[in-house]
Amino acid sequence: MQNVNLLDPALMPAEPLLRAGPVLAVLLVGLLGVAGHGLAERLLTSRSLAAAGVVTPSETAPASPGALDGGQLVRLSQRLATREALLAALKAETAQPSRPADTLRHLVATLPETMWLSEVELAGERDLRVVGGSLDPLALAEYARRLAEAAPLRGLTLQTVRLEADEQPPVAEGGPAPVSTRLFTLASRADLGGQAP
């Protein structure tokens, strides 16, 4: 015997795309995952703070400021000074020049005609490294003096970290002699000298 479906599929009731049971199960699993992740992060953070010796304010807050004895006060003062020094060091590491475009503009504006720049590095507010070349090595001192007088770099002392003769190409027969050039690196700190360009 053969069964034939005589009903048009358009007349049959449509099945829902999403059922409530599976949707609620997925939401519950997601919620449990987020809550578990939050608890794990809180636990890891508290362990890291404990390992670093950081004590939360709720653990150290005395009943009154007068309840601290001399030893506790000294230890807290030392800990505070250490943390402030660390914070200052981190700020100095990540500090950017307040107006890098002005600094670059002054680097180029004060450049003598006998010099050119090949690399400029600005790091923080007071760290600068300039790499370039010069036809006149005596112009280098004048350039460093001009930079120290320019508004964005006022008072910055630049040192000549490197000054060496550039390699000259071979002289062609009957051609003009090549011009003697010098490569230089100026830096606000000797450890910024880096490598040759």
Stretches where the chain sits below pLDDT 70 are 54-68, 90-98, 124-125, 168-172, 175, 177-178, 190-197
* Residue 9: inside a domain: no
What pLDDT, on a 0 to 100 scale, did the predictor assign at position 171?
64
pLDDT at 24: 94
Q: What is the DSSP letter of 45?
A: H
Instruction: Give the span between the Cα atoms of 12 and 3, in whole angstroms.
Output: 17
CA of 162: how far to CAs of 111, 120, 132, 145, 188, in Å? 18, 15, 10, 17, 13
Q: Parallel, antiparallel, or unpaired for β 115-123 and 159-165?
A: unpaired
Rg (CA), the chain: 35
Q: What is the pLDDT of residue 172?
A: 66
Query: Is 61 within the bounds of a domain?
Result: no
**pLDDT value of position 119:** 92
* Token pair in block for residue 159: 């040192």
Q: Is 21 a member of any domain?
A: no
The answer to whether position 53 is within a domain reads no
Residue 194, pLDDT score: 55
Predicted local distance difference test score (pLDDT) of residue 197: 38
Q: What is the pLDDT of residue 97?
A: 59
The number of domains in the chain is 1
Q: What is the pLDDT of residue 83?
A: 85
- Bridge-based pairing state of the strands 182-187 and 127-134: antiparallel
6, part of any domain: no
Give me the CATH number covering residue 134. Answer: 3.30.1360.100
93 φ, ψ to 5°? Answer: -65, -40
| 37 within a domain of the structure (yes/no) | no
Quote the pLDDT of residue 61: 53
Range of the domain at 129: 100-167+179-192
